[in-house]
Structure 1
Amino acid sequence: MNTLTPIQKIPNYTEGHWRTGSGDGELLRDAVTAEPIFIATTESIDMEAALHYARMVGNPALRKLSFHERGRRLKALALYLAERKEQFYQLSYHTGATRADSWIDIEGGIGNLFANASLRRKFPDLPYCTDGDPIPLGKGGTFMAHHLLVPREGVAVHINAYNFPVWGMLEKCAVNWLAGMPAVVKPSPFGAYLTQAVAKAIIESGILPEGSLQILCGAPGNLLDGLTAQDVVTFTGSKQTGLQLKTHPRILSESVPFNMEADSLNALVLGKDAVPGTAEWELFIKEIRNEMTVKAGQKCTAVRRILVPEHLLEDATKALQQTLAQTIIGNPHNQKVRMGALAGQFQKERLLHNVQQLLAVSGLVYGSLDSVPVVDADAGKGAFISPLLLRNDYPFQTDVIHEVEAFGPVSTLMPYKDLDEAIALSKKGKGSLCCSIVTADKTTATEFVIGAATHHGRILVLNQECAKESTGHGSPLPQLVHGGPGRAGGGEEMGGVRGVKHYLQRVAVQGSPSMLTAITGTYQQGAAGTAATVHPFRKYFEELEIGYQLLTEKRTITAEDIDRFADLSGDHFYAHQKGTDFTGTMFHQQVAHGYFILSAAAGLFVDGSALGPVLLNYGIDELRFTKPVYPGAEIQVRFTCKEKLPQDNREEGEIPRGIVKWLVEVLDETGEHVAVGTILTMVRRLL
């Protein structure tokens, strides 16, 4: 245990220094023993100075780094934290979390760093990137536009809930750091000691530029008063608190982007085909048990409403009673314990208050509000409570079960007659972070997903086929958006590239292709190229410049070429045969295979005379055949370096290399395009 005597105040980190707040602050207690352990306070901390420091020191340093450089630092940081995770686990026991609960929080948070580090490959090796496709604006090809995404010049302010002290910080910071913005993190005081320990390790590592991270472990004070239009605010917690923050005068007056992830009444639906004895039935029971007991039900994604076919209501009640009775509750240090304590007595009191509201319209079919058997702990001192399973047989006759959330190991069973009712009940939560349906029936799954999608941020379709690899109902993933409409906050975070864009400013840039090539760092079709003096395949990765261009010799396409390619490939489509009657077709004579034209083009632009820096053909991103090529046509290739993406060596001794994207324009004797594509080559680097 990491209990400190005498009790210490948790240091805050602002303006490059660790600072202890003044005043009494918030007394934090061990969730299991109720012993005082820390004091959280930010009194006397200059909030405006912290924001200014992030903008003036952290922001410029991060903005100068490319996406690839930021991503590599995230990977290094993830490895650094993973080596120190045991100290975080020890602190996490104070929160009432079991080892399994802490794994989700600690290693799940570190996993976000790894995921976003890998995401760098989706971006150019520049501090900014393009968004979407180039847009031609003139018939002559001399005027165009492209959307550009640049890092905002402010700071990301993250105000997080108490239930995931590590994940809550790292899921958000990983994204804003990759985007090029610094962060000021304001965790809930309850569990802030764990958040602070991870933040301290991040700062001590020196991997991120100074000013990238500051942490405030107590009350937010006047933090929001110093916001500007360049900042971004995110909030995780209750809807009521979120609305108070969202309507802060400064946020409204400065139009500060605000993303809210609010607790919601998430539903899990049992399909009518998932009857007792099926694999899906067992998955349903297991999923509900996990959602009620993992983190003692203190997850914003936990299942609060269980929707089952009315003829299976009794079976579901009995099965859930049996499985919940197997839950061992107590001190999370004990390896036999499967459910620890709530975050503290404050949370237990709030939970019981909300449960009483639910019990006014529902019955308690499992658990007790007054007593709970625990292992290696004092139930009177710790914030323990048993899982509470409620049942409401008339879910359309009351709104309470669809409006009041008991944030803990509490769920309510309710019946439905048909799929339309199941969809309607799922929507009565007025917006959720996630929803699940357990079914092996494709029609049921399709109708439910399409019918319910408007009210949920994520939908899991769970059955035997995906169960082995499924991450479960309550697990947000960094590759997917996390958030939901209505009560869930109306926002989204993570989501791979989508999440990064929340911290970037989009601007439409207009100009000539050559000018936009210079600005975007990506060759734009129609831009002036740099005529090749040395064949492009003779140049190493670092030696190649965007716009470096080869105009090849010409080749005449013959009917014999087309016949030989048909025989070689086995593609004897009617349009490639001489004897075809072309009346009523799109062609007026034998036409060359598109893939033959591409192959012939490769024969024109490839230099294979000797070993060189090009290691291999990596693939094709885009390819269009834009005009038929008939026998007698003459083709030529304009071959241009379009974009360069460095690659990291994964193993010692690997050949250093990068990926080069080439714009391949195949032209006929009239100068018109017959094919346009982007091919990729793996090219050796000098270093």
Structure 2
Amino acid sequence: MAKLENFILGRWITGDGEGQPLFNAVTGEQIATASTKGIDFKDILRYARTTGNPALRKMSFHERGLMLKNLALYLRNHLDKFYQISYQTGATKADSWVDIEGGIGNLFSYASLRRKFPDESYCLDGEHHVLGKANTFMGHHLLVPKEGVAVHINAFNFPVWGMLEKIAVNLLAGMPAVVKPATVTSFLTEAVVREIIASGILPDGALQLVCGSAGDMLQHVTEQDVVTFTGSASTGLMLKSTPSILSQNVPFTMEADSLNCIVLGNDVTPDMPEWDIFLKEVRKEITTKCGQKCTAIRRIFVPADKIEDVQIALGKYLSQTTIGNPLNEKVRMGSLAGESQRAEVRAQVQKLLASSQLIYGSLDSVQVIDADAQKGAFMSPLLLLNEHPFQSKEVHEIEAFGPVSTLMPYDHLEDAIQLAKMGKGSLVSSIVTADKKIAKSYVLGAGMYHGRILVLNGDCAKESTGHGSPLPLLVHGGPGRAGGGEEMGGIRGVKHYMQRVAIQGSPDMITAISNIYQPGAKGNTGGIHPFKKYFDELQIGDQLLTEKRLITAEDIDQFADLSGDHFYAHLRDTDFSGTMFERQVAHGYLIMSLAAGLFVSSYDKNPVLLNYGIDELRFTKPVYPGSEIQVRFTCKEKTRQEKKEPTDIDKGIVKWLVEIMDETGEITGVATILTMVERKS
């Protein structure tokens, strides 16, 4: 019998002993064993901290992001292999697509986020704060990668996505990972990690895998580590209570299974497109992955006067679901991940039946295609009805982690909101409605109890990724029962693996530390015009103080005629009493345009390829005819760009701080402009 291997300390090894048997969820045949017996978990964590962490910390965000992109491209070359193994977990082709290609998609998403970060291994966070009147003392926040390791303890339902969605974030942040997948489906995780290691794309120590028990691993975590857990709330609470986690305040992010719900708005009738949208969404969430999703719909709230119609319609929709061997192209729902999961679901359903009734499906029998219903972990979709949801605590407390959901009535939207809250926190809720007021009332009324809320109607249904699909750029997690943590979330997720440190000092010091020019810092003046320098030659702080330019009433009149902007404040004959202005005032965009005329190096061709845009443009003081403007133009930040094609011009993006001053020296306007600048090499 094959034994899964663990990838630790830079090599593949097997654990001691016979190990835990692993089974094909469709046929019931044993396919492997897994063991971590004899492994020194303290050494595993030490190796990650001393080998993987320094290697990743030396890389910039852009280098880490390109690493993720290359890894995603590499894994896509092995999809057929992953799909064949995934079928053994009971997943259909559609289920496997979410797990495998959805996971790889997370790598692509986080790879693209590199552009949101500087070309450094660290970054500033938020805005700067001036802490002194003379602007010689300021404060900022800096994010630096932690010196520890991310320990990911994952659930059995998504053996690929569960790993890749987490490591994409910690690797971009500059932290290595140890992944401990749920043992029952770890054979698929192992197959993917084998290809990751074979690619040679990640530095040594960046990723380690343990297949089997986590042993005493959490007893060896330190204050620089991060632990994430996906699974049951009870197991999560036990792990979170590990003495070392409590004593050293180790960040612990939990994403627990929750009693997610969907609400049919009381405005929706059977003749509306939202009616079918609702039914299809419920069916999909009951049957996808055989209901084994932490985001699956467990509670269905429907207006009381439509409960019978919904019950009949859902029964028809569910009856169209073909169940059996996921290798058969006719099958739409496979099996649970194993016999132990099937026994657990049945036990939980029995508890729910204390206050609910079964209105569709069977606990004991199921018709399957091209499979043996008893040898495989197959189960019928089950729809329950609870007619008194306010009096029944079980339906708001007990989750059957399979193709099971409970239908419940409500009278008013306020009741639906209250029922949604009775789950005491969930990962996601949906509401299907065409009424904007209903949508707003539900989101504001129930939002504090859910990590994500999907508002579905005919406008967005075609493009909607659905109730059960977490997205890389949005947070995945939820309050209360759902674990109280967050995963992914784009830039927000990266910050979970970095230390935020407040830094204080002079603008010159903060500029030197951050490598981003801070207002008030000394500039590098003299020499050639900054626009005549190649990207590689430019230094942060390179600065130009321009000539002055007199603003006349004729300038303002001509710009008004040219642009068509005849706002009253720009007209000479306006009665300015009761306005914010003394007399005719220059257009802000006129001042910005004239500023460009002052700082742009005209006529001669230079390394600046184009103007890329303007950020944070503000007009801070009126400019009247007779005023003189002058520009302080400073190189603020540089970011290299990789070539998309070999023939592309080698270039980077340069951000410039534009400070427009009047004759008194006061700032009248400020902006950050971006230019695309050619590289010399």
TM-score bracket, normalised by the shorter chain, equals over 0.9
How many angstroms apart in 1 are the aligned matches of 2:127 and 2:646?
37
User: C-alpha distance in 1, partners of 2:383/2:289?
Assistant: 16
One-letter amino acid of the counterpart of residue 169, structure 1? M
Partner amino acid for 1:407? F
Partner of 1:142: 136
The Cα shift of 1:160 comes to: 0.3
Unaligned runs of 5+ in 1: 1-6
- Normalising by structure 1, we get a TM-score of 0.98
Of 308, 317, 320, the match for 1:323: 317
Deviates most, 640-649 or 149-158? 640-649
Aligned partner (choices 445, 456, 467) of residue 451 of structure 1: 445
Consecutive unaligned residues in structure 2, runs of 5 or more: none
Question: How much does 1:363 deviate?
Answer: 0.6
1:33-59 C-alpha deviation (Å, 9 max, x unpaired): 110001011000110000000000000
Alignment equivalent of 1:231, drawn from 225, 231, 235: 225
Cα displacement (A) at 1:654 = 2.1
Using the TM superposition, name which of 386-395 and 643-652 deviates more.
643-652
1:495 aligns with 2:462: no
Per-residue CA deviations over 1:387-417 (Å, capped at 9, x if unaligned) read 0000011100110000000000000000000
Cα distance in structure 1, aligned partners of 2:463 and 2:679: 38
Map of 1:603 onto structure 2:
597
Residue identity opposite 2:458 in structure 1: Q
Matches of 1:438 and 1:521, distance apart in 2: 48
Counterpart-to-counterpart distance in 2, 1:366 and 1:178: 46
The match for 1:617 among 595, 611, 614 is 611
Shift of 1:540: 1.4
Separation in structure 2 between the aligned mates of residue 644 and residue 82 of structure 1, nearest angstrom: 32
Match in the other structure for 1:298? 292
Q: Which residue of 2 aligns with 1:131?
A: 125
Q: Which amino acid aligns with 2:66?
A: R
Specify the code of the residue in structure 2 equivalent to 1:356.
Q
User: Which deviations, in whole Å up to 9, do the C-alpha atoms of 1:571-600 show, x marking residues without a partner?
Assistant: 111211111222222221211111111000
Paired residue for 2:82, among 88, 91, 114? Answer: 88
Return the offset for 1:230: 0.2
TM superposition shift of 1:686? 2.6
What are the Cα deviations for residues 27-81 of structure 1, in whole angstroms up to 9, with x where unaligned?
A: 0011011100010110001100000000000000000000000000000000000
Q: TM-score scaled to structure 2, two decimals?
A: 0.99
* 1:332 matched residue in structure 2: 326
Q: Does 1:384 align with 2:378?
A: yes
User: How far apart are residue 628 of structure 1 and its match?
Assistant: 1.1
Matched position secondary structure for 2:460 = helix
Instruction: Classify the secondary structure of the residue corresponding to 2:547.
Output: strand
Shift of 1:98: 0.5
- Mapped partners of 1:273, 1:654: distance in 2: 55
What displacement does 1:278 show?
1.2
Partner of 2:427: 433
| Residue of structure 1 in register with 2:6 after alignment | 12
Aligned residue number for residue 411 of structure 2: 417
Partner of 1:557: 551
- Look up the SS of the partner of 2:581 in the other structure: coil
Deviation at 1:624, TM superposition (A): 1.0
User: 2:478 maps to which residue?
Assistant: 484
User: Which shifted more, 176-185 or 200-209?
Assistant: 200-209
1:684 aligns with 2:678: yes
Query: Could you tell me how far 1:233 is from its partner in structure 2?
Result: 0.0
- CA offset at residue 277 of structure 1? 2.0
CA distance in 2, matches of 1:418, 1:447: 12
Q: Deviations over 1:338-376 (max 9, x none)?
A: 000000000000000000001111110100011101011
Question: Which residue of 2 is the match for residue 205 of structure 1?
Answer: 199
What secondary structure sits across from 1:372 in the alignment? coil
Q: 1:283 offset after TM fit, Å? A: 0.5
Q: Percent identity?
A: 67
Secondary structure of 2:660's counterpart equals strand
Aligned to 1:3: none
**Who is 2:95 aligned against?**
101
Shift of 1:651: 3.2
Match of 1:536 among 508, 530, 535: 530
2:62 to 68, 71, 79: 68
Q: CA deviation at 1:181?
A: 0.1
Mapped partners of 1:525, 1:115: distance in 2:
33
Structure 2 distance, partners of 1:407, 1:32, is 18
Q: Does 1:640 align with 2:670?
A: no
Q: Does 1:276 align with 2:270?
A: yes
Residues in 1 aligned to 2:314 and 2:225: alpha-carbon distance in whole angstroms: 47
Residues 215-294 of structure 1: pairs in structure 2 closer than 5 A: 215-294=209-288
* Equivalent residue, structure 2, for 1:472: 466
Correspondences of 1:176-191 after superposition (within 5 Å):
176-191=170-185
Helix, strand or coil for the counterpart of 2:500? Answer: strand
Work out the CA distance in 1 between the residues paired with 2:353 and 2:664.
80
SS in 1 for 2:631: strand
* Deviation sequence 1:255-295 (CA, Å, 0-9, x none): 00000000000000001122112110000110011000000
> Cα distance, 1:25 vs. partner?
1.6
**2:566 is the alignment partner of 1:566:** no
Once residues 97 and 450 of structure 2 are traced to their aligned partners in structure 1, the CA distance between those partners, rounded to angstroms, is 26
**Which range is displaced more, 208-217 or 567-576?**
567-576
Alpha-carbon offset, residue 667 of structure 1: 0.9
Deviations 1:297-332 (A, max 9, x none): 000000000000000000000001001011100000
Matches of 2:659 and 2:179, distance apart in 1: 49
Task: Provide the C-alpha distance between the structure 1 equivalents of 2:45 and 2:493, rounded to a whole number of angstroms.
Answer: 22
Distance in 1 (CA, whole Å) between partners of 2:483 and 2:668 is: 50
Give how far 1:17 is off. Answer: 1.0
Asked if residue 516 in structure 1 is aligned to residue 519 in structure 2, the reply is no
Determine if the alignment matches structure 1 residue 43 to structure 2 residue 26.
Answer: no
Q: Following the alignment from structure 1 to structure 2, what is the Cα–Cα distance between the partners of residues 654 and 19?
A: 45
Distance in 1 of aligned mates of 2:606 and 2:644: 22
What number of residue pairs does the alignment pair up? 681
The AA in structure 2 aligned to 1:471 is T
Q: Which moved more, 1:523-532 or 1:228-237?
A: 523-532
SS of 1:84's partner is helix
Distance 1:50 1:162 in 2: 22
Work out the CA distance in 2 between the residues paired with 1:376 and 1:334. 7
Q: Deviations over 1:506-561 (max 9, x none)?
A: 00000000110010111000000101411111111111111000111111111111
Q: Displacement of 1:236 after TM fit? A: 0.1
Find the counterpart in structure 2 of residue 363 from structure 1.
357
- Quote the offset at 1:648 in angstroms: 2.2
Instruction: Give the whole-Å Cα distance in 2 for the aligned partners of 1:474 and 1:542.
Output: 47
Aligned residue in 1 for 2:26: 32
Of 392, 400, 411, the match for 1:398: 392
Runs of 4+ that moved beyond 4 A = none
The alignment yields a C-alpha RMSD, in angstroms, of 0.8
SS at match of 2:546: strand
Aligned to 2:401: 407
Q: Using the alignment, how far apart are the partners of 2:572 and 2:333 within structure 1?
A: 75
SS state at 1:283 partner: helix
Q: Which residue of 1 aligns with 2:650?
A: 656
Q: Which residue identity does 1:666 align to in structure 2?
A: I
Deviation at 1:649, TM superposition (A): 2.3
Q: Distance between the aligned counterparts of 1:302 and 1:309, measured in 2? A: 21
Q: What residue is the counterpart of 2:659 in the other structure?
A: 665
Partner amino acid, structure 2, of 1:288: V
1:647 Cα deviation after fit: 1.8
The code of the aligned residue for 1:511 comes to G
Deviation, 1:166, is 0.2
